[in-house]
Structure 1
């Protein structure tokens, strides 16, 4: 047919619309194999705050201990409910044995005390006299208890201390809650840069060897800084850095060693998120960063999902059935309609969560995924932790509805 004829008849030849690209299917995250592998020595659970990293860490530690490994879980969460769920009155800066009846291995737990950890570093790497000077210094007391990044750095320090011994088959780390999950990776170098930074060196130059005679320009600068910071604070900083001067190299060396420890074979990162846009966006950033730093990523745990009890009835059909039940006027119709509407709401929520998980997988098809249903309440004992551990480590296809554990709803048929 000629172009003129096509124009006359009003018909145009159109290219067929290309089919929509298939949704990427997530790879299964086999955490049981990970934590029982003797070559796995460190598991780092990371992610945004409030996504369940602490409970995930404890549940994995419990599963590993019941599988026969000697495990210590290092948590940063000061909430007492974790200690209570482990059957302990409280947790502190030293590992405490957790009584797990029937376990083939051992479970120990500890909660990071960042000031005590910093104090231990000072005592271990300086003379008693210099350590006393540092510990009593007001600037140090502020730095060791509230300086931004100190908690993340001390978590890394404690990890290095635990790994230096051969007492533990497996160390599981619950990273600190922070505005950005990337802070944990940045902490060692950031602390090292601060303590050995140009500004700190400049502020304390007159007290350091080789700077006994300060220039007129520096003295002018020092007076300005003294007015801004306060003379006493400047003197505290100067005394602190002078006392800590011999330890600068140690901070750099330990920061480098701990960072490299995270890249070695035997270390795995598990990113934890909830099925919410912000949490998954943070998880995506962390996955990209781990990839850029060539650090080993095990996969993503999507925590607190809401899978329905059955996937045979869609939300639309459930709403329709609820209307029909009410219109029938039969005995128990209101109860049946209420149950159907609850199911419809659950299906709608699960569909939304699956859509968000699919978006993450489309962006990161190489990342394995494990979904964990939300608990009915807070985890407050070993039985609750064990339920979560089963969800984390159970076979991918072993679920009541038959939906693989890497998904919330079954994949659409093509």
Structure 2
């Protein structure tokens, strides 16, 4: 009887080289995604700064309505147009912007319809509500803005900072959502009169409109019908552009970077993003585990540090209390690092093919270019170039077998 063969191990990822990624002229789009509060905005800005200092012309687009990106780049505010960031000594250029959902929608309407039709659409009450708060509009407009930026020859590299939730990847659904919306029964009924003429509108449609008028109100139904009729000629363009941008995200030259912190919830979200990107066949660069706490030295274990602290206190003498306190701080840091490494190892066991880069927590909030440079160094530095020699793929050195 032949012994069963052990299953072959899957591919194991090497170190994630973000420096090579952002300086490669073939890289044109980098999308940072992850759960809220993990540092996606700072990661996006740091990568953009590093790319600009390496000579590239970069624009970083945030879809997060928070103002952290503007503050860290030394700008008072960001809006829907790229703003130049003054980076002394940089051989490239850095620009930043924040998605304005309604203004982007307005720009699309103006660009893809006649002046008269655009005026009708922009003045329509239903459109004003749709462009400001309708579910899915933000994600679709993010696709529109990304497509506009990529179509321009102005940018070598576009870095996208996504919203702080699972909706960070909802823009991948924008083409399908738009198609479902445009092909839906409600839209086809509402556009039927505009396409065939009110004279031949069916009795069924008239009955339907009376029922909907009672539910929505006659004025709202008229606003919706007028909006759909005015927008009818633009529907094909909406779908085509969203689909083209979606395909752009799957082509060579685009990379996704998932960002997490060494916490169970954040790493669970990271697993969701990795699985979703894999299902969509999107190119994944790897996982950034942000805000880790590596110890100053790995030569002294937590147990030995605690024992040494007790011995120092028993021996007494000048500075004993201070030395014992320092040893206990080191012991706590080793325990924290061990916990973080354990969580990272669990992720790696589930996703051995995903490259990982750990980034130590900053001493304070990153709020200026110097702080971003420090984070950029942690993101793009050589894998083994750390104070303790521990590879940047890990919080602690790997155990010897």
TM-score by length of 1: 0.90
Deviates more, 1:248-257 or 1:141-150: 141-150
> The residue matched to 2:338 in structure 1 has which SS?
helix
Name the residue aligned to 1:306.
293
Q: Indicate the structure (1 or 2) with the bigger Cα radius of gyration.
A: 1
Alignment gaps of 5+ in structure 1:
1-14
Give yes or no for contact 2:29–2:254 (8 Å, CA) kept in 1: yes
* Change beyond 3 A, Cα 1:317–1:230: farther
Equivalent-residue separation in structure 2 for 1:267 and 1:28 (angstroms): 19
Equivalent-residue separation in structure 1 for 2:174 and 2:306 (angstroms): 51
Give yes or no for contact 1:47–1:271 (8 Å, CA) kept in 2: yes
Q: How does 1:364-403 map to 2 (within 5 A)?
A: 364-403=351-390
Deviates more, 1:195-204 or 1:241-250: 195-204
For residues 307-353 of structure 1, give each alpha carbon's deviation from its aligned partner in whole angstroms, at most 9, with x where no partner exists. Answer: 11111122222222223333334333332222222222222221111
Give yes or no for contact 1:47–1:286 (8 Å, CA) kept in 2: yes
Name the residue aligned to 1:138.
125
Give yes or no for contact 1:369–1:406 (8 Å, CA) kept in 2: yes
For residues 281-313 of structure 1, give each alpha carbon's deviation from its aligned partner in whole angstroms, at most 9, with x where no partner exists. Answer: 222122122222222111111111111111112
Name the residue aligned to 2:8.
20
Equivalent-residue separation in structure 2 for 1:22 and 1:291 (angstroms): 15
* Change beyond 3 A, Cα 1:18–1:44: closer
* Change beyond 3 A, Cα 1:247–1:323: same
Equivalent-residue separation in structure 2 for 1:178 and 1:141 (angstroms): 25
* Change beyond 3 A, Cα 1:38–1:352: same
Deviates more, 1:375-384 or 1:69-78: 69-78
RMSD value over aligned CA atoms? 2.7
* Change beyond 3 A, Cα 1:228–1:293: same
Name the residue aligned to 1:12.
none
Equivalent-residue separation in structure 1 for 2:136 and 2:158 (angstroms): 22
Give yes or no for contact 2:41–2:68 (8 Å, CA) kept in 1: no
Deviates more, 1:400-409 or 1:220-229: 220-229
Deviates more, 1:334-343 or 1:210-219: 210-219
TM-score by length of 2: 0.92
Equivalent-residue separation in structure 1 for 2:4 and 2:233 (angstroms): 73
* Change beyond 3 A, Cα 1:240–1:39: same
Equivalent-residue separation in structure 1 for 2:108 and 2:201 (angstroms): 32
1:211 CA drift (Å): 6.3
1:206 CA drift (Å): 4.1
* Change beyond 3 A, Cα 1:373–1:30: same
* Change beyond 3 A, Cα 1:48–1:212: farther
1:144 CA drift (Å): 1.0
Give yes or no for contact 2:30–2:254 (8 Å, CA) kept in 1: yes
Give yes or no for contact 2:191–2:232 (8 Å, CA) kept in 1: no
* Change beyond 3 A, Cα 1:191–1:347: farther
1:235 CA drift (Å): 1.9
Name the residue aligned to 1:345.
332
Alignment gaps of 5+ in structure 2:
none
1:201 CA drift (Å): 2.4
Equivalent of 1:94 in 59, 62, 81: 81
Equivalent-residue separation in structure 2 for 1:16 and 1:95 (angstroms): 60
1:74 aligns with 2:64: no
1:217 CA drift (Å): 4.2
Equivalent-residue separation in structure 2 for 1:398 and 1:129 (angstroms): 61
* Change beyond 3 A, Cα 1:211–1:305: farther
Give yes or no for contact 2:49–2:376 (8 Å, CA) kept in 1: yes
Deviates more, 1:45-54 or 1:238-247: 45-54
For residues 194-240 of structure 1, give each alpha carbon's deviation from its aligned partner in whole angstroms, at most 9, with x where no partner exists. Answer: 24422232345444426644444444443333333333222221111
* Change beyond 3 A, Cα 1:216–1:346: same
Give yes or no for contact 1:151–1:176 (8 Å, CA) kept in 2: no
* Change beyond 3 A, Cα 1:226–1:331: farther
Give yes or no for contact 2:10–2:352 (8 Å, CA) kept in 1: no
1:30 CA drift (Å): 0.1
